[in-house]
Amino acid sequence: MAAFGGTHRFVVRAPESLLGREPVAWAVDRVRAAVRAADRSGRCLSIVLHAATDSATRPEGFPEPPESAESYRMRTEDDGRELRVVVSASDERGVAYALTELCERMAAGRAVEAIGADVREEQRPSVPVRGIQRAFSGVAEDAPWFHDRNFWAEYLDFLATQRFNRFHLALGMPYNYGAGFSGSNASDNYLCFPYPFLFDVPGFPVRAQGVDQAEQRRNLASLAHIVRETRRRGMEFQLGLWNHAYDYRLGARHSHPILGIGPESHTDYCVAALGELLRAIPEIDGLTFRVHYEGGIHEQMREDFWERMFQAVSDAGRPMRVDLHAKGVDAKLLAALRKPNIRPSASLKYWAEHMGLPYHQASIREFELMRLTREQLGPERADLMGTTELNRRFTRYGYADFLDEDRELGLVFRLWSGTQKLLLWGDPAFARGYGRQAGFGGALGLEFEEPLFFKGRKGSGRPGERDPYVHDDLRLGLEDWRKYQYTYLLWGRLLYDPDAPPETWRRFLRREYGEAAADVEALLAPLSRILPLVTVAHAPSAACNAYWPEMYTDLPISPWVRSRHYAFDTMSRDWLGVSSFDPKLFSSVREYVDDAVAGHLRGKYTPLEVAAWIERFADEGEAAVGRAREQLASGGPQARRVLVDAEILIRLGRFFAGKFRSAVQYALFLKTGAREHIDAAVDLLAEAHAAYAGIVDVAAGVYRDELAFGDVLSEHGHWPKNLDAMADDLHALRVERD
């Protein structure tokens, strides 16, 4: 089949049945566009395709297709007039991956010949699930991209090219039902309890106040478009229904109150509405549910609710992946999943609600291992959250007890975005590590929450302010995801193949940054390791709405400074006693100093080792920034974005390393009374604070003064907001010294 004529000729030969498959047709269109964009040498590109799933008979001369799904073998030959590419794949995704690889090569070399004249390549995935999760966090900032067809075309094209095979659109994550302030302050509930924002359900008078049928139809049409466009590119569509509360109680004032529903009709309505949704958009591949109390269902009544909801999925009459957010999941819920047409799975928080190091922790915090009693919770809270808080508290993060050998349950790890929500991330070594660990214990794979994930959450969004930049030359508008293309590329390609050659990402860097490409790689790699390391070693909260290392809400070193911000989630009121997220491998400051003074150090990583690693990463990044500064400063907008983020990460590294060292010195002072230790603690903390204060000047006039990812202190604002609390801590140490 000839695709088009012109200076470049492009021919694809394959069975019509294969070319008619949507992912293959999409990928062929991508090749056609890449050929048009290439230089005009007159070379003919001839592609011959075969997929094992399309025909039982392999054409003569074809390499045998790989057996594993999403795999391909590719070879090329060049006779001077025609560049011939032969692709033998296991299935349509394998074909699409081979074709998009051709596109990437042509884009890198701006020529058909850049594909290569004697290629012998075989590719197969390391894990079967490679996902990206995007959240609808607030109507002000998210409705524009939700309804924009051009946004979805470009964004989904890029994700599919990086070999993600699952896209999870999460609804209902802005608020946590029953979680105190989060519920009482619930305001922007648009699409949180999604059904009445999408359609009316026959037999139920339920509606969202202020949303008419025209708006419902528009919302449903946009959701259906997203689903179909995702699948057209060979990705599964996973719809996250994270909330089934129609009212967050506690005096919450919703922007769109849900009317015509009450406790007596709630379950019946949800069951009917879920069935209606699956009939309206039959292309939905899977559903993710938050089944513990924060998803809106009191745990004293959850068995009946979820039994009926799972039955509604089963009754849809087609195979679907039902994924349970693992917090609070118990044997009864898993038993309820055993129904026809349901492929059960659970998604586990990899490093709580944060981005940690690329390994699976050997332990979890004592805070999550505490056994509470019903009396401690009180009768009302026990009815609300008893199963999760009394019996399954240890499922809050990590793999808990889900890795039994004879399980029927598929497992997927989810890497949350709490650590680094805003600044650019890009480290091939860590990305390889995540890829290699994604199949730990037989897990199916890994899902990443994308950058800017909770932007505008909890009613904090403002129209036109999702883009965090001030100046027009740095703003990307609805294309804000383009800043993070390198992040997506590393996550996707190295999750597919952790051993992928460096050219996989270096061709992108050359295209984006020109002569500065090598230095951009060299500066982003070490700087991207700083905050994940800080997160693992210093864990005052598992919650992403409380702990944001990127814009750190200060926990003091001095016990004389009153700080209750993290009190709900850690047993320590100061830096010295804060646990790691993996306390079997990382010592707290107090534990390390007690052991050091007693003369019997354990085989754990110490705070001083952590500080030294952070300093090394900051030094390496700073050296690379020095080499690239002139080119980046005079480069395009993306080069300047990289430079600013790198300068901020360097200073964050200096701050956290200094604070670890200062805390150790202060703990030694408390243990020994030696003045030199508190002198050192004061000096080190002053240097750390100076580094943090330097961020203010770097970010001024670049980032908005209000960077809103939520409505509490630790979710919004700007770096200067934390300086006063830091000054109080330093002042207290000086008073104690003097």
Position 669 scores a pLDDT of 98
Percent of the chain at pLDDT > 70 equals: 97
Gap between the Cα atoms of 487 and 521, Å rounded: 11
Domain residue spans in the chain?
A: 2-123, 129-499, 517-737
Position 179 scores a pLDDT of 78
3-state DSSP assignment of residue 189: coil
pLDDT in tens, 233-274: 999 999 999 999 999 876 778 999 999 999 999 999 999 999
Q: What is 2-123's CATH topology?
A: Chitobiase; domain 2 (3.30.379)
Gap between the Cα atoms of 668 and 675, Å rounded: 10
H-run or E-run covering 610: helix 607-633
The CATH number that domain 129-499 falls under is 3.20.20
The confidence band for 5, taking pLDDT boundaries of 50, 70 and 90, is very low
3-state DSSP assignment of residue 193: coil
Kindly state the average pLDDT of the residues 132-136: 99
Range of weakest confidence among 368-377, 507-516, 621-630: 368-377
Position 6 scores a pLDDT of 39
Kindly state the average pLDDT of the residues 195-208: 98
Do strands 2-4 and 9-13 pair parallel, antiparallel, or not at all (unpaired)? antiparallel
Range of weakest confidence among 27-41, 229-243, 361-375: 27-41
The confidence band for 186, taking pLDDT boundaries of 50, 70 and 90, is confident
Single pTM value for the model:
0.96
Kindly state the average pLDDT of the residues 318-327: 98
* Residue 415 and residue 437 in contact, taking contact as beta carbons nearer than 8 Å: no
pLDDT of 447 higher than 90: yes
pLDDT of 1 higher than 50: no
pLDDT in tens, 468-511: 999 999 999 999 999 999 999 999 999 999 999 999 999 999 99
Question: In the structure encoding, which two tokens stand for residue 679, read together?
Answer: 């002198």
Position 571 scores a pLDDT of 87
3-state DSSP assignment of residue 299: coil
* Residue 78 and residue 90 in contact, taking contact as beta carbons nearer than 8 Å: no
pLDDT of 7 higher than 80: no
pLDDT in tens, 567-602: 999 988 899 999 999 999 999 999 999 999 999 999
Position 251 scores a pLDDT of 72
The confidence band for 304, taking pLDDT boundaries of 50, 70 and 90, is very high
Position 9 scores a pLDDT of 79
pLDDT of 183 higher than 70: no
Residue 712: C-alpha distances to residues 173, 186, 459, 614, 708 (Å): 16, 12, 11, 29, 9
For tokens 């993070």, name the residue: 484
Return left, alpha or beta for 172; rule: phi > 0 is left, psi -120 to 50 is alpha, else beta.
left
Kindly state the average pLDDT of the residues 275-304: 97
Gap between the Cα atoms of 352 and 549, Å rounded: 14
Range of weakest confidence among 53-67, 212-226, 267-281: 53-67
- The Cβ-side half-sphere exposure at 432, using a 13 Å CA radius, reads 11
The confidence band for 180, taking pLDDT boundaries of 50, 70 and 90, is low
Question: In the structure encoding, which two tokens stand for residue 602, read together?
Answer: 């354990």
Gap between the Cα atoms of 110 and 347, Å rounded: 41
